[in-house]
């Protein structure tokens, strides 16, 4: 399953960060999943929970935020989030714009418990 291998790499990223903060207790992990990444957020949450179950990370919550598709207009350099699948530039009306975002899968934050 695609999402399971992604959940594994998310977990590796989290562990690498924890290794740099000895003694810190992680509470929450924020993740942004781009709309074009092809990742199913529910399946990813489920896989993550299955992976951390019974480990020291069991209490960690994964919060997934959807990242919208973003385009840039080559005519006026306007950057915008796509709504309703409309790729035309909202600023100058150019019909051909390039995709600059929406495929990302990245951490937005790691929230630690105060000591």
What is the separation of C-alpha 58 from the centre of its chain, rounded to a whole number of angstroms?
20
Distance in angstroms (rounded) separating the CA atoms of residues 29 and 60: 7
Name the residue nearer to Zn ion (CB basis): 38 or 93: 93
In the complex with Zn ion, which residue's Cβ is closer, 24 or 96? Answer: 96
Q: By C-beta, is 47 or 97 nearer to Zn ion? A: 97
Which CB sits closer to Zn ion, 30 or 68?
A: 68
| Contact between residue 109 and residue 14 where contact means Cβ atoms under 8 Å apart | no
CB 99, CB 15: distance < 8 Å: no
Q: Binding residues for Zn ion, how many (CB under 5 A)? A: 8
Q: Phi-psi category of 40—alpha, beta or left, where left has phi over 0 and alpha has psi -120 to 50?
A: beta
Site residues (CB under 5 A) for Zn ion, limited to 52-111: 73, 75-76, 78, 89, 91-92, 94
Say how far apart CA 63 and CA 48 lie, in whole Å: 11
Question: How far apart are CB 27 and Zn ion at their closest, in Å?
Answer: 42
Minimum CB distance to Zn ion, residue 34 (Å): 22
In the complex, which residues of this chain contact Zn ion (CB under 5 A)?
Answer: 73, 75-76, 78, 89, 91-92, 94
């Amino acid at each position: 399953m695609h999402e399971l291998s992604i959940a594994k790499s998310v977990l590796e990223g989290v562990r690498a960060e924890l290794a740099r903060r000895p003694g810190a207790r992680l509470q929450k992990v924020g993740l942004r999943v781009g709309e074009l990444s092809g990742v199913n957020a529910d399946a990813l949450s489920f896989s993550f929970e299955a992976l951390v179950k019974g480990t020291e990370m069991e209490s960690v919550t994964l919060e997934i935020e959807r990242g919208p598709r973003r385009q840039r207009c080559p005519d006026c350099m306007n950057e915008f989030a796509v709504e309703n699948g409309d790729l035309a530039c909202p600023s100058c009306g150019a019909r051909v714009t390039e995709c600059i975002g929406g495929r990302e899968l990245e951490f937005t934050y790691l929230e630690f418990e105060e000591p």
